[in-house]
Structure 1
Amino acid sequence: MGKGTQAQRLMADFGIPQISTGDILRDNIARGTDLGKVAKGLMDQGQLVPDQMVNNMVGARLAQPDVERGYILDGYPRTLGQAEWLDSHLTSTAAGHAPLVAISIRVDEQELLRRITGRRICPVCKHIYNIYSKPPKQEGICDFDGSPLQHRSDDTEAAFTERMKAYNSLTAPVIEHYSRQGRFREVDGARSVEQVTAAIESSLKQLRQAVE
């Protein structure tokens, strides 16, 4: 499982909220907001939503009181512009808070394609399944609440191909940005869910000791 699954495990371990820009966008799509209509067209093509739009969403979310003890940013920042905006925003609004650190989960591209195209999500409890590696007990039905599982419209091979192009051109510089500042670690995502979680938490401890 990938970053969404790991974010859920870290939420439980540390008692802090997950902030997923993808979830925020999909909520807007489901409600048919202006933001949702723009985002849907872009996401269906595997394209990224403009930085300013995403930054505004993140800024609004970080102003909520439940993030005071910390938070997990899932899938953000995706571009260098977002990373630079976030650094500036946190410097001006989060005095006294620990510096942000970044973890990347490394997965083979073919395995990543299987994970994405096979992903199914419960719209109620948000539990994540995969038809190849972690299927539900009953096909298409959540084990926990019996809800029909959903397949995201952007979890297709075509959208994945576009997403990888965007990653190589836009997201890779984010890794360099945080690496230069000593605030980045990479973990092997090919291992078991439990092993990946342990590696992430170990990396977080090391980074915290280095930057504080």
Structure 2
Amino acid sequence: MSENAGQPRRVVFLGPPGAGKGTHATWLAQQGAMLHLSTGDMLRAAVREGTELGSQAKQFMDAGKLVPDALIIDMLFETLSARGGEAASGWILDGFPRTEPQAVALDERLDAKGEQLDAVLLFDVDSDELVERLSSRLTCKGCSAIYNRRLRPPEVEGVCDRCGGNVVQRADDEPAAVRKRLEVYADQTAPLIDYYDQRGKLLRIDAARSIEEVRGAVLRHLGIGHTETEH
């Protein structure tokens, strides 16, 4: 996969649950194009491995409290430092920031390093389409691999292709729970979209299209590969 020369890309993938952020970020990472940084995965790994930051985060989680933004950002930059070679070609942040205060805190930390975000890709999808997508989503309890009951089921029903673990529907992927998650996303993220739009960072993608079409749009926005400019 070819890419444009220049400074490393620092990108946020923004969008509602089920919009495909993780799917496309994972694919780019598998191609060796960019490092995929999922804050949820980082947090779970840090807690599981018992790192200093993970131990701090676990105290909040065990108390039923949200992990502070500053701790999440510390974890992010610790991961970037540890994986410097992989991050050299650029990185995608998936799952953070979710609110405007988090975006401000991230920008301040980047500014302190003499860096800034290059782009924020917003994956736009209609709410009804998202409910349909997420209500069909299945997750492996072992390795967290994602399947879709309609479009991409596991080869053997209930069994993960990758690790052989149990594939189930998460409680928060049931229709009523999905609609609630989308309401929370809309309330939290509308100011965040305006924040990045006003700073000239926001790039919108129609994520209701096929995976191949959305992937092409992502590649064009990131300047990777040789495709026509999207209109």
Q: CA deviation at 1:196?
A: 0.6
Counterparts of 1:137 and 1:81, CA distance in 2:
43
Structure 1 equivalent of residue 191 of structure 2: 173
Q: Does 2:165 align with 1:147?
A: yes
Q: CA deviation at 1:158?
A: 4.4
Q: Please tell me whether the aligned partners of residues 29 and 40 of structure 1 are also in contact (alpha carbons under 8 angstroms).
A: no
Q: Secondary structure at the match of 2:204?
A: strand
Identity of aligned residues (%): 35
Structure 1 equivalent of residue 105 of structure 2: 85
Q: Please tell me whether the aligned partners of residues 38 and 94 of structure 2 are also in contact (alpha carbons under 8 angstroms).
A: yes
Task: Give the 3 Å change call, closer, same or farther, for CA 36–114 of structure 1 in structure 2.
Answer: farther
Q: Secondary structure at the match of 2:194?
A: helix
Which of these residues, 207, 216, 227, is aligned with residue 198 of structure 1? 216
Deviations 1:128-187 (A, max 9, x none): 211132211211112244332254454344443332232222211111111112111111
Which of these residues, 143, 155, 161, is aligned with residue 137 of structure 1? 155
Q: Secondary structure at the match of 2:167?
A: coil
Residues matched between the structures, number = 200
Q: Secondary structure at the match of 2:31?
A: helix
Counterparts of 2:64 and 2:187, CA distance in 1:
17
TM (norm. structure 2) is 0.72
User: Which amino acid is the alignment partner of residue 36 of structure 2?
Assistant: Q
User: Which amino acid is the alignment partner of residue 95 of structure 2?
Assistant: G
Which of these residues, 59, 65, 72, is aligned with residue 54 of structure 1? 72
Q: CA deviation at 1:39?
A: 4.3
Structure 2 equivalent of residue 162 of structure 1: 180
Greater strand share, structure number:
2
Q: Secondary structure at the match of 2:123?
A: strand
Q: Secondary structure at the match of 2:155?
A: coil
User: Which amino acid is the alignment partner of residue 190 of structure 2?
Assistant: A
Counterparts of 2:176 and 2:46, CA distance in 1:
23
Greater helix share, structure number:
1
Which has the larger displacement, 160-169 or 172-181? Answer: 160-169
TM (norm. structure 1) is 0.77
- Structure 2: where are the runs of 5+ without partners? 1-18, 225-231
Task: Give the 3 Å change call, closer, same or farther, for CA 36–149 of structure 1 in structure 2.
Answer: farther
Q: Secondary structure at the match of 2:107?
A: helix
Q: Secondary structure at the match of 2:161?
A: coil
Q: CA deviation at 1:81?
A: 0.8
Indicate the RMSD between aligned Cα atoms, in angstroms: 3.1
Structure 2 equivalent of residue 104 of structure 1: 122
Task: Give the 3 Å change call, closer, same or farther, for CA 165–77 of structure 1 in structure 2.
Answer: same
Which has the larger displacement, 11-20 or 114-123? Answer: 114-123
